[in-house]
Amino acid sequence: DTEVTQTPKHLVMGMTNKKSLKCEQHMGHRAMYWYKQKAKKPPELMFVYSYEKLSINESVPSRFSPECPNSSLLNLHLHALQPEDSALYLCASSSGLAGALDTQYFGPGTRLTVL
Amino acid sequence: AQRVTQPEKLLSVFKGAPVELKCNYSYSGSPELFWYVQYSRQRLQLLLRHISRESIKGFTADLNKGETSFHLKKPFAQEEDSAMYYCALSPGDSWGKLQFGAGTQVVVTP
């Protein structure tokens, strides 16, 4: 399996809801990433996990809570989101072996709408 | 802080014509540069890395450290090249922090 998969494809939630986004890869990659992409904008890095440990948090609000249960899975827990959090959330993975040269492999994204 | 600039939001070219997408960067250290592409209804994927110095789908990109540029070129555009192209920078001393430019939408018309 050489793809990054994300579920669900679409998610609509209210501002008081709690939901989770899931990401999975079976390429043996040890680095995983969450990005946020607004319409007609480039992806913006949110979090990076390296060997299941959070290594980068780009000052993301605490209503977004990442979790890496194992080397294949990455979750993004959502709570008390705002309408401006509506966006495409992308997951990516990379080998974690090539440093800055690591190629990132992206999932198809989860389209989130916050009402 | 690093910065990636793609000055063209939209590039419209005729099939068979050359195409060049501009990318300029600012970074005090030694960066790694990439071009990512997103075709319609497909996921974002790597097109090429500067370190590879290879041609992918007929595209090449040369890193010019003096001009801090990493322009993407193809001598003869094809309709299937229509896509959104992102130039991206990874700081040499802080892996994982991939910074994307704003992107250039390429439309190739027959």
Nearest chain A alpha carbon to B43: A108
DSSP annotation of B9: S
Instruction: Report the SS3 class of residue B79.
Output: helix
pLDDT tens digits, A10-27:
999 999 899 999 999 999
DSSP annotation of B98: -
Q: Check CB contact of B52 with chain A, cutoff 8 Å.
A: no
Q: In degrees to the nearest 10, what's the CA dihedral of A88, A103, B24, B91?
A: 100
Q: Judge: A42–B100 Cβ closer than 8 Å, yes or no.
A: yes
> From CA B99, how far away is CA B89, in angstroms rounded?
5
Which pLDDT band, with edges at 50, 70 and 90, does A101 fall under? confident
Distance (Å) of CA A53 to CA A38, A47, A57 = 27, 11, 11
Q: Check CB contact of B45 with chain A, cutoff 8 Å.
A: yes
> From CA A66, how far away is CA A44, in angstroms rounded?
15
Instruction: Report the SS3 class of residue B57.
Output: coil
Suggest the residue from A32, A35, A48, A101 to mutate for an interface test with chain B (most B CBs closer than 10 A): A101
Which pLDDT band, with edges at 50, 70 and 90, does A34 fall under? very high
> From CA B6, how far away is CA B23, in angstroms rounded?
5
> From CA A111, how far away is CA B44, in angstroms rounded?
15
